[in-house]
Structure 1
Amino acid sequence: MRRVYGLDTYEELKLRRMRPRSLAACAANLPDGSMVWRRLGLANAWTVQDYLTATLVDQMNMWMWANSDPKKRGQKPKPVPRPGNATRTNSTHAGKSDGDGAGVTRRTRHIETKAVTVDELDRFMSQHFTTIESG
């Protein structure tokens, strides 16, 4: 929120400059590639450019494999892992099968909400947080 909108969410709530619903709307509409989506491992953790680059890498690997000597080339190359495709054991639930008949199962992440008091929120927000740069 701070990087995209320039908002310190804790201060905005504490000073009552923004309503919680407005902050939630800002969070839900963060752009693709935002740190929140990366941290959650969702499909929109990557931008369109990231997906296009991964597709180019996959195609180049496949082209090199297909044009190599069949006796020496080994196994077919695996595609670059994309966010949202990883299987998580404790926080994902199997979704319905896509209707294409290929047996592909979508995975969704369920985040449970918990009401906290203002004192609990103050204690949580007074912790030291560090920013982790991904690259």
Structure 2
Amino acid sequence: MAKQRRDADRRSRQCAKFARLIRIARLVMGNGRWGPDDLARELECSVRTVYRDVEVLTVAGIPIFFDKADQAYRVPGGFRFSGIEPQPVPAGAPASPAVHDLLCSARSLLGEAEAFVTRLRSLCAELESGRRETG
């Protein structure tokens, strides 16, 4: 019969893995060259564990890729984590976290779109007034 792990041991291993994932993301996104062997030495784990962790980070949305020229993991230059500031939920809003996140993103996007339209209208007005003055 297989040995049963206690919940405390399982949670401890999960926390260690989560901490390792965060460290890999920070190292790869920072300055320096971090190949699989370097990361394994730094994190005191196997190279295979590094491969698995990089795959987890990729699935989670961090676009890590291996640069063959530098023999190091990289993240595209413009990549940034999206903001994770909590948004207030109105009393009648759906309870689903996915729906809530979608609503918050949509509201944010609409706000940015409205600001863009306002700036675009202002630019059009300036261009039209400049055309009238020269015409």
Give TM class, smaller chain: under 0.3
Higher helix content, 1 or 2:
2
| Greater Rg over alpha carbons, structure | 2
Structure 2-normalised TM-score?
A: 0.23
Structure 1-normalised TM-score?
A: 0.23
